[in-house]
Amino acid sequence: MARKIPLIPTLFLLPSLLFLGIFIYFPLVQNVYNSFFDFSVFSPTKEFVGFASFQQLLQDEVIVAAFINNVKYAVISVLFQVFFALVLATILEDKVFRRIAPALRVIYFMPVMISISVIALLFTFVYNPQMGLLNSFLELIGLENLATPWLGNATTAIYAVIAMSQWQSIGFITMLFIVAIQKIPKELYEAADIDGAGKVRKFFNITIPQVKETMFVNVLITVTGSILVFNEPFILTGGGPGFSSTTLSVLMYEQGFGKDNMGYASAIATLIFVLSAIFALIQIRVSGTGKDD
């Protein structure tokens, strides 16, 4: 006997399904379709080229450099924005900092509320090779040999961009962890105190297991955000010097709107989607989130 589909819940779901279909899934399918054509944004005609754009992807050395930069972005972001943010949230929720914790939360969260364009402008002053705060500080403490044009040096440009991103984003992840820590039953910590457990042991045996779901969400947000990152490298360095700080999204923009090569840009966009989906599936598989303990 066929199972009846409940009418009222289905009607409530329809608006969101319609919204997702029009603004997410249709553009996604359209982008994959476009990647099989060679066309200009100013021309109504398209030339079918099959898998030529994907073959070009495999032979493009810049794609490899951009992907490596995305991987660097993801690894450093997970270390700082997830693990360091969890330590920071645990410290802010400790009894020792309870009185000043509200003020510290505001201080750490404030960069999240500032436009990324304003932050990028601020960090161009910080990284300025002649009068920047960073080089001035290094000279002040006797490390002038480490002073360098951070955004103009091919070795340091991507790390300078990543550092700015960590400063701007860590407050948001910290707030998510604070909410998760506040939901942990106090009885667990009280029982640990009776057993004589120290702060480090409580952190590894109680806090981390209890915020596992939040940690999974934060890792997912951080890794997918690192694969999609565009604003920070584009505003600070434009992907340079050369292609040293180019990410996949910056390269897609340059191909599509800089060189008017929309078919190849669509193929890069398809690659970004596939990479994001693969990383998300791996994280779900490895973390085992959603399963009953």
| Amino acid identity, position 219 | V
Judged against a pLDDT cut of 60, whether residue 293 lies above it is answered with no
HEC letters along 125-176: HHCCCCCCHHHHHHHHCCCHHHCCCCCCCCCCHHHHHHHHHHHHHHHHHHHH
Average pLDDT over every residue of 44-69: 91
Tell me the pLDDT of the chain averaged across its residues.
89
Report helix, strand or coil for 38: strand
- Rounded mean pLDDT of 77-81? 90
Read off the pLDDT of each residue in 70-88 and give the average, rounded to a whole number: 92
The pLDDT, as a whole number, for residue 262 is 92
How many percent of the chain have pLDDT more than 70?
97
* pLDDT at position 2: 60
Which pLDDT belongs to residue 116? Answer: 86
- Residue 8: what pLDDT? 84
| Range scoring the smallest mean pLDDT among 13-17, 48-52, 176-180, 279-283 | 279-283
Count Cα neighbours of 40 within 13 Å in the Cβ-side half-sphere: 4
For 238-268, what is each residue's pLDDT tens digit? 888 988 999 999 999 999 999 999 999 999 9
Q: How far is CA 128 from CA 49, 114, 122, in A?
A: 45, 21, 10
Would you state the pLDDT for residue 97?
82
Q: Scanning the structure block, which residue is given the tokens 């998510």?
A: 176
Q: What is the pTM of this model?
A: 0.86
**% of the chain at pLDDT higher than 90:** 46
What integer pLDDT is reported at residue 291 of this predicted model?
57
CA atoms of 124 and 128, how far apart (whole Å): 6
- Which residues share a beta bridge with 163? none
**pLDDT value, residue 9:** 82
> What's the mean pLDDT in 97-104?
84
163-189 per-position pLDDT tens digit: 999 998 899 999 999 999 999 998 998
pLDDT at 281: 86
